[in-house]
Amino acid sequence: MSNENPKVLVLMGSKSDWDIMQHADQTLARFDIPHVCRALSAHRTPAQVIELVSKAEENGAEVIIAAAGGAAHLAGVVAAHTILPVLGVPMNSVLNGLDSLLSTVQMPGGIPVGTLAIGKAGAVNAALLAAAILARKDTDLQQKLRDFRKEQQDTVIENSVLP
């Protein structure tokens, strides 16, 4: 889902991250949160990243999600240029995402990035954490989050008996 005044900007370092990051897109859509998804590289297109982040902030975005792999600088670069909450998603890599995770999470004091799990779980959870942040001023969204938790719980319980 995409929107002219997106609340959430979903950035990823490479088009090949879409396979994973579409789960963030779908999760945001599920909560009807206006958002846009863009693939831009912190290293190949730094100026475009900075410009996009600034514009998003001006246009009313409230959270930025940034996903990257390897020497994953995207979330850090974004965080350096905004006071919005920035959420990082480490992509899988030749080192199983350990490099992506450390490059995203080990930020120095002063510029925070809230980092989620490596890969798909992180993509889903970044969207959920964005929703939780937006819900601070949106009681409808709070209710949707509670419903989601309840539904999720019910699904687990229904499938809990084994074998």
The only residue of 15, 32, 54, 59 in contact with its own copies, by rule CB under 8 A: 15
CA atoms within 13 A on the CB side of 14: 15
Residues 84-143 that bind its own copies (CB under 8 A): 84-85, 87, 92-99, 101-121, 124-126, 128-129, 132-137, 142
Of the two residues 5 and 106, which places its CB atom closer to its own copies in the complex? Answer: 106
> Out of 33, 40, 53, 56, which residue is the one contacting its own copies (CB under 8 A)?
40
Q: Rounded CA gap, 141 and 31, in Å?
A: 7
- 104 within 8 A of 72, measured Cβ to Cβ: yes
- Nearest approach in angstroms of CB 81 to its own copies is 7
Residue 150 beta carbon to its own copies: minimum distance, rounded to whole angstroms: 10
Smallest distance, Å, CB 85 to its own copies?
A: 4
Number of residues that bind its own copies (CB under 8 A): 89
Q: Kind and range of the H or E element at 30?
A: helix 18-30
Backbone angles phi, psi at 17, to 5 degrees: -80, -10
Q: Which of 5, 32, 44, 59 binds its own copies (CB under 8 A)?
A: 44
Using CA atoms, how far residue 97 sits from 3, 19, 21, 120, in Å, is 31, 15, 15, 12
The correct pick among 5, 32, 38, 54 for binding its own copies (CB under 8 A) is 38
Token pair of 106, please?
């080990």
Task: Name the residue type at position 83.
Answer: I
Tell the smallest beta-carbon distance from residue 12 to its own copies (Å).
8
Whether 61 and 7 have beta carbons less than 8 Å apart is answered as yes
Determine, following the binding rule CB under 8 A, whether residue 8 of this chain makes contact with its own copies: no
